[in-house]
């Protein structure tokens, strides 16, 4: 039974969720003191919900219903979203098509986005009420979302299956939850796409095929991983020092430095003291970045001006002012030019870089050239990306798991066996887990452990438990990393250029899976390491044809053929003892046994070699064993599909296996009955006889049918008895 709430005159209040605390209804926990979204709010802010994955973007944590302009439809959207978040609400439980499990906030954000799009589109079509939605409008919206048009309205492409499914799903949801809506609802007889699921409407691929994520090409993987490892091991410690330098400089030179004087007269005394200090320590003045120099030239500065490349703003901040005003040059140009003449101008960071061995091992050279601040920050970022690349490539962790890593995630190394060290890092499995994820650990090799250590050292605020990377876009980071490796800076260090080509975290995970799975015991190792729920997932992931399922099937087939061979051998021995098969196929089988027996008979054997042992007999019987199928009351010797009665009855005469469930062994020329089948037929005869005795006199048709059955069972029993005794008597 469903509870249907009548559409009431609209007063901006929900008939079921009015005044509801959204987080309480959805069982989402918030820290104390954080404002809780109410149902009536137009923005539901879930930013502070406890346990949200780091991967979840901030924008998807705020549900903005204000984008839906019609207040009735806004109420519909709120009711739909809350119903999806709270499937156990008393008003939602009775809905037959409602979800029974709460949707994740990310999914709800996606649904709200699509619903907003749909409602906006409806408005543009002149639709004033959801009741006006018919199948034509549903089709039109699907087409609207499906096709990509150019500025002339010509179709130039198609959206993904996922986009199409989202478009169909939102209409299906409006139908599924229609009884819940207070202000407006679709008509009761709307059955979009004939009641098909959104996936079917979107023609989603079935997902049973192979994993579509390709591994990273070897020609890319090799130089990429080599460069990443080089950056982590050779440049990493210097990058840590550089990052520290930048942080320290920011304390005194950044525009955000606290207590800076805004404007006012030139701080001549302070700047003069500062310049004297530069001269005393023989430190070159900080150089302006190239784009700022270009700006000065555009503003009319002379290219020969000695102050052109001096970062005067940095000097001003070091002297306690927020910036260097142009009017100050009158008083300070002289001292500045004198200092430049004494110490020169140089980029502010990595002025005396340490030496490192080049990546090709050919030479030793400075690890970097002097850098501007932005270049230094970028280089630190490149090294951090190298650490992420090593971590992702060699550990195979998912993006969600990498983003959950925290400072202090490295577990102390263990030495379970002397000489072997085990390194572990801790994170959370998010995929398929309840909100908050599940704590887990990954066993990794030392380079991964060291990459995490480097990332911790590069962290701007390495408080314990702070997110190590937080949310990051690997695609963009990787592009920057590759550009740097291929640039003059990377080539200077002897790094091999990385060819163009796609690399993302999924591809890296798949590459590792393939590498692991094709080693002995690799599928199971992959399953455990990649934390797949089932081995079948790992098998699909690694496209391994010899996986556990295939192995199980091969094992079953092996047992089956062994069993068949033993059965054929037993029947052959029976034949030799004079116990013959019965049934329509008995003659053919007896002839076959006779031909084998002849081959084994020393007197009949033409060749001097005599085959007597079981192995030789089995070799002769193997072919026949391959066509043996076991029925409940007979053996089926499936040598010729065209003679199989079951296949004739089923109308599939060319099938390659018999339909044992349809077997009529008393009539099929491929069936035989043996003494082991006698109890089945005998019991069948007894039971049928009992049934016949219980039949009333009026049930003649039934009696005739059962009598034929009974006679057949008796005939088969008699044939089995006759066949198993006749020859024995003859031999006696």
Sites of contact with ligand SF4 (CB under 6 A): 631, 636, 638, 644-646, 658, 660, 663-665, 668, 670-671
Based on CB atoms, which residue is closest to ligand SF4, 205 or 653?
Answer: 653
CB of 723 to ligand SF4, least distance (A): 17
Phi first, then psi, for residue 85 (nearest 5°) are -80, -25
CA pair distance 553, 408, nearest whole angstrom = 46
CB of 722 to ligand SF4, least distance (A): 20
CB of 98 to ligand SF4, least distance (A): 48
Q: DSSP letter at 155?
A: E
CB of 628 to ligand SF4, least distance (A): 10
Based on CB atoms, which residue is closest to ligand SF4, 127 or 660?
Answer: 660
Based on CB atoms, which residue is closest to ligand SF4, 215 or 658?
Answer: 658
- Selection from 7, 129, 123 nearest residue 68 by Cα: 123
- Selection from 289, 282, 421 nearest residue 342 by Cα: 282
Based on CB atoms, which residue is closest to ligand SF4, 399 or 636?
Answer: 636
CB of 661 to ligand SF4, least distance (A): 8
CB of 668 to ligand SF4, least distance (A): 3
CB of 665 to ligand SF4, least distance (A): 5
Long-range contacts of 524-528 (CB under 8 A, 24+ apart): 524/548
Based on CB atoms, which residue is closest to ligand SF4, 239 or 671?
Answer: 671
Residue 732 neighbours by CB under 8 Å, 6+ apart: none
CB of 584 to ligand SF4, least distance (A): 8
Based on CB atoms, which residue is closest to ligand SF4, 240 or 660?
Answer: 660
Based on CB atoms, which residue is closest to ligand SF4, 266 or 646?
Answer: 646
Separation of first and last alpha carbons in the chain? 78
DSSP string for 390-424: HHHHHH---HHHHHT-BTT-EEEEEEEETTEEEEE
CA pair distance 328, 269, nearest whole angstrom = 12
Phi first, then psi, for residue 414 (nearest 5°) are -115, 160
CB of 585 to ligand SF4, least distance (A): 7
The token pair that represents 129 in the structure block: 């009420």
Based on CB atoms, which residue is closest to ligand SF4, 389 or 670?
Answer: 670
| Residue 43, H or E segment | strand 43-45
CB of 606 to ligand SF4, least distance (A): 35
Based on CB atoms, which residue is closest to ligand SF4, 422 or 643?
Answer: 643
CB of 681 to ligand SF4, least distance (A): 14
CA pair distance 408, 590, nearest whole angstrom = 78
The token pair that represents 513 in the structure block: 């899976």
Long-range contacts of 561-565 (CB under 8 A, 24+ apart): 561/625, 561/626, 564/625, 564/626, 564/628, 565/618, 565/621, 565/622, 565/625
Based on CB atoms, which residue is closest to ligand SF4, 52 or 668?
Answer: 668
CA pair distance 198, 97, nearest whole angstrom = 13
Beta strands in 127-222 (DSSP E): 147-149, 155-158
Based on CB atoms, which residue is closest to ligand SF4, 328 or 638?
Answer: 638
CB of 657 to ligand SF4, least distance (A): 9
Based on CB atoms, which residue is closest to ligand SF4, 312 or 564?
Answer: 564
CA pair distance 349, 375, nearest whole angstrom = 9
Based on CB atoms, which residue is closest to ligand SF4, 321 or 665?
Answer: 665
* Pairing assessment for the beta strands 635-637 and 628-630 based on DSSP bridges: antiparallel
Based on CB atoms, which residue is closest to ligand SF4, 13 or 643?
Answer: 643
Tell me, rounded to whole angstroms, the distance of Cα 727 from its chain centroid.
67
CB of 133 to ligand SF4, least distance (A): 55
CB of 635 to ligand SF4, least distance (A): 8
The token pair that represents 318 in the structure block: 């070091």
3-state secondary structure of 5: coil
Based on CB atoms, which residue is closest to ligand SF4, 267 or 584?
Answer: 584
- Selection from 631, 550, 538 nearest residue 583 by Cα: 631
Based on CB atoms, which residue is closest to ligand SF4, 204 or 659?
Answer: 659
Q: DSSP letter at 8?
A: P
Q: Compute the chain's Rg from CA coordinates.
A: 40
Q: Are 140 and 116 in contact (CB under 8 A)?
A: no
The token pair that represents 406 in the structure block: 């925290």
3-state secondary structure of 629: strand
DSSP string for 311-364: -HHHHHHHTTBSS--GGGHHHHHHHHHHHHHHH-EE-SB-SSPPEEE-TTSS-E
* Pairing assessment for the beta strands 345-346 and 438-444 based on DSSP bridges: unpaired
The token pair that represents 86 in the structure block: 């709270």
CB of 695 to ligand SF4, least distance (A): 28
Beta strands in 104-171 (DSSP E): 147-149, 155-158
The token pair that represents 59 in the structure block: 């924008």
CB of 647 to ligand SF4, least distance (A): 6
List C-alpha distances in Å: 142 to 135, 161, 166, 167, 711: 10, 11, 9, 6, 65
Q: Are 29 and 46 in contact (CB under 8 A)?
A: no
Based on CB atoms, which residue is closest to ligand SF4, 569 or 655?
Answer: 655
CB of 588 to ligand SF4, least distance (A): 12
CA pair distance 170, 111, nearest whole angstrom = 7
Look at the alpha carbons of 240, 241, 247, 250 in this order and tell me if their dihedral is positive or negative.
negative
The token pair that represents 627 in the structure block: 């066509």
CB of 663 to ligand SF4, least distance (A): 3
The token pair that represents 258 in the structure block: 């606290």
Based on CB atoms, which residue is closest to ligand SF4, 360 or 664?
Answer: 664
């Amino acid at each position: 039974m469903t509870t249907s709430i009548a559409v009431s005159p609209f007063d901006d209040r929900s008939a079921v969720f009015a005044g509801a605390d959204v987080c309480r209804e959805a069982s989402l926990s918030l820290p104390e003191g954080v404002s809780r979204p109410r149902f009536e709010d137009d923005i539901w802010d879930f930013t502070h919900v406890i346990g949200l994955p780091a991967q979840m973007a901030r924008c998807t944590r705020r549900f903005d219903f204000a984008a839906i302009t019609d207040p009735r439809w806004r109420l519909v959207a709120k009711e739909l979203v809350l119903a999806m978040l709270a499937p156990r609400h008393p008003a939602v439980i009775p809905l037959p098509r409602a979800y029974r499990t709460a949707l994740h906030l990310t999914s709800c954000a996606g649904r709200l986005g699509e619903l907003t799009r749909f409602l906006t589109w409806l408005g543009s079509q002149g639709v004033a009420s959801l009741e006006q939605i018919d199948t034509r409008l549903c089709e039109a919206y699907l087409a609207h979302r499906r096709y990509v048009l150019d500025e002339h309205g010509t179709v130039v492409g198609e959206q993904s299956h996922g986009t199409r499914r989202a478009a169909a799903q939102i209409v299906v949801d409006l139908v599924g939850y229609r009884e819940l809506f207070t202000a407006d609802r679709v008509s009761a007889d709307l059955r979009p796409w004939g009641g098909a699921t959104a996936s079917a409407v979107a023609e989603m691929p079935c997902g049973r095929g192979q994993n579509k994520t390709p591994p990273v090409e070897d020609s890319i993987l090799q130089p990429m991983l080599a460069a990443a490892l080089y950056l982590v091991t050779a440049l990493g410690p210097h990058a840590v020092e550089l990052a520290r330098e930048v942080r320290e400089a920011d304390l005194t030179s950044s525009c955000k430095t606290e207590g800076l004087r805004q404007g006012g007269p030139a701080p001549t005394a302070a700047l003069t003291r500062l310049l004297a200090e530069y001269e005393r320590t023989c430190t070159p003045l900080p150089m302006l970045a190239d784009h700022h120099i270009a700006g000065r030239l555009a503003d009319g500065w002379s290219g020969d001006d000695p102050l052109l490349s001096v970062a005067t703003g940095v000097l001003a901040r070091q002297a306690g002012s927020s910036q260097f005003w142009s009017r100050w040059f009158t008083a300070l140009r002289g001292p500045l030019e004198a200092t430049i003449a004494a110490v020169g101008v140089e980029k502010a960071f990595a002025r005396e870089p340490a030496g490192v061995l080049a990546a090709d091992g050919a030479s030793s050279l400075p690890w970097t050239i002097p850098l501007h601040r932005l270049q230094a920050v970028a280089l630190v970022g490149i090294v951090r990306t190298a650490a992420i690349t090593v971590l992702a490539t060699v550990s195979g962790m998912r993006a969600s798991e990498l983003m959950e890593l925290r400072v202090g995630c490295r577990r102390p190394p263990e030495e379970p066996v002397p000489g072997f060290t085990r390194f572990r890092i801790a994170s959370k499995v998010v995929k398929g887990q309840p909100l908050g994820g599940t704590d887990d650990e990954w066993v990794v090799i030392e380079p991964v452990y060291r990459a995490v250590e480097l990332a911790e050292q590069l962290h701007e605020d390495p408080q314990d438990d702070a997110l190590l990377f937080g949310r990051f876009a690997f695609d963009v980071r990787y592009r920057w990393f590759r550009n740097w490796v291929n640039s003059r800076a990377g080539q200077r260090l002897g790094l091999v250029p990385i060819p163009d080509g796609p690399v993302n975290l999924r591809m890296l995970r798949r590459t590792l899976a393939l590498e692991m799975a094709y080693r002995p015991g690799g599928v199971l190792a992959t399953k455990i390491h990649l934390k797949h729920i089932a081995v079948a997932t790992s098998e699909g992931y690694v496209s391994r044809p010899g996986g556990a399922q295939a192995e199980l099937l091969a094992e079953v087939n092996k047992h089956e053929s062994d069993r068949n061979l033993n059965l054929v051998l037993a029947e052959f021995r029976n034949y030799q003892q004079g116990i013959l098969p019965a049934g329509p196929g008995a003659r053919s089988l007896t002839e076959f046994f006779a031909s084998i027996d002849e081959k084994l008979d020393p007197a009949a054997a033409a060749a001097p070699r005599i085959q007597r042992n079981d192995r030789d007999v089995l070799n002769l019987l193997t072919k026949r064993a391959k066509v043996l199928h076991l029925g409940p009351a007979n053996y089926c010797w499936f040598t010729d599909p065209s003679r199989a009665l079951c296949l004739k009855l089923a109308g599939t005469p060319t099938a390659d296996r018999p339909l044992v469930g349809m077997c009529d062994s008393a009539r099929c020329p491929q069936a035989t009955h043996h003494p082991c089948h006698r109890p089945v037929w005998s019991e069948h005869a007894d039971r049928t006889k009992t049934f016949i005795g219980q039949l009333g006199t009026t049930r003649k048709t039934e009696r005739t049918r059962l009598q034929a059955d009974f006679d057949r069972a008796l005939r088969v029993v008699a044939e089995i008895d006759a066949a198993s005794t006749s020859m024995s008597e003859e031999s006696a």
